[in-house]
């Protein structure tokens, strides 16, 4: 009896599916205009579904800003030695873990497909992150005073490339300004390196990230 009911449900579903198939999305007498419109609409919809919302850029900008603001606070409190432990062992690794989980969940939840731009930006981001960690952990003492400007210049390259890939001008402009701040940092006293990093995070990451987020929301309304 149960077998018969299941068989009936199965057959009914197939009939229903075939009927739906016959009725929907089976149009073959499209006019050339309709075809072109369909192509444009589909490509546009596909692009919108995996558009970058600037969330990760804002996160890393804020993280960098907080890290260097805390440097001043800790110096003021006479706790400067805690600073290195705080950013290398707590804040940046936490940011890395959050980024990994966020990207993975976003891809799985929305079934986001892989694109050349997405793969390029993603790979650049991870390569940049790992290089930065190696530079900080292993070669930090060799870089000495040059560490902060080199960090800003490398970050600027990543932001400029991302801006160009996404065809988003504020991000490209932010990257160029960040590049200039990076070179400018070589010219100032090390006492102001923290301020330079905070300014770089604001100009190159936080502001373009917020603008990207706004642009993304506007397009999805």
> Which CB, 41 or 217, lies closer to another protein?
41
Taking the least distance from each CB to another protein, the nearer of 21 and 131 is: 21
Give me the residues that bind another protein (CB under 8 A), please.
Answer: 14, 17-18, 20-21, 24-28, 30, 32-33, 35-36, 38-39, 42-43, 45-47, 49-50, 110-116, 119
Q: Which two tokens stand for residue 116?
A: 């050349």
Q: Is-contact 135 148, C-beta < 8 A?
A: no
Least distance to another protein, CB of residue 125, Å: 17
The CB-of-167 to another protein minimum distance in angstroms stands at 14
Q: Report the alpha-carbon distance of residue 202 to residue 207 in Å, rounded.
A: 6
Min separation Cβ 124 and another protein, Å: 16
- Say how many C-beta atoms besides its own lie within 10 A of residue 168's C-beta: 20
Cβ 209 to another protein shortest distance, Å: 24
* Structure-token match 């579903």, residue found: 13
Residue 110 Cβ, how far from another protein at the closest point, in Å?
8
- CB of 38 or CB of 127, closer to another protein: 38
User: Which C-beta is closer to another protein: that of 47 or that of 145?
Assistant: 47
Residue placing its CB nearer to another protein in the complex, 26 or 144: 26
Rounded to whole angstroms, the maximal C-alpha distance in the chain is 86
Measured from the CB atom, is 46 or 131 closer to another protein?
Answer: 46
What sign results for the dihedral spanned by CA atoms 168, 174, 178, 179?
Answer: positive
Measured N-to-C along each axis, helices 92-110 and 55-76 cross at an angle, to the nearest 10 degrees, of 170
CA angle (205 as vertex; 201, 207 as ends), nearest 5: 105
User: Is residue 23 helix, strand or coil?
Assistant: helix
Q: Min. distance of Cβ 206 from another protein in angstroms?
A: 30
Tell me the CA end-to-end span of the chain in Å, nearest whole number: 51
């Amino acid at each position: 009896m149960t077998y018969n009911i299941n068989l009936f449900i199965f057959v009914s579903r197939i009939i229903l599916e075939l009927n739906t198939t016959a009725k929907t999305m089976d149009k073959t007498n499209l006019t050339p205009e309709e075809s072109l419109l369909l192509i444009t609409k589909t490509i546009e919809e596909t692009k919108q579904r995996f558009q970058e919302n600037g969330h990760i850029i804002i996160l890393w900008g804020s993280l960098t800003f907080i890290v260097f603001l805390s440097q001043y606070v800790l110096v003021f409190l006479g706790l400067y030695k805690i600073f290195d432990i705080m950013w290398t062992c707590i804040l940046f690794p936490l940011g890395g873990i959050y980024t990994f989980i966020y990207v993975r969940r976003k891809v799985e939840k929305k079934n986001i497909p892989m694109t050349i731009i997405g793969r390029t930006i993603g790979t650049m981001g991870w390569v940049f992150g790992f290089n930065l960690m190696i530079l900080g952990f292993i070669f930090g003492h060799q870089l000495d005073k040059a560490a902060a400007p080199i960090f800003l210049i490398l970050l600027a390259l990543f932001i400029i490339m991302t801006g160009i890939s996404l065809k988003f001008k504020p991000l490209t402009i932010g990257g160029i300004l960040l590049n200039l701040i990076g070179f400018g940092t070589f010219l100032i006293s090390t006492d102001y390196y923290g301020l330079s990093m905070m300014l770089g995070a604001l100009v190159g990451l936080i502001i373009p990230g917020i603008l990207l987020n706004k642009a993304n929301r506007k397009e999805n309304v």
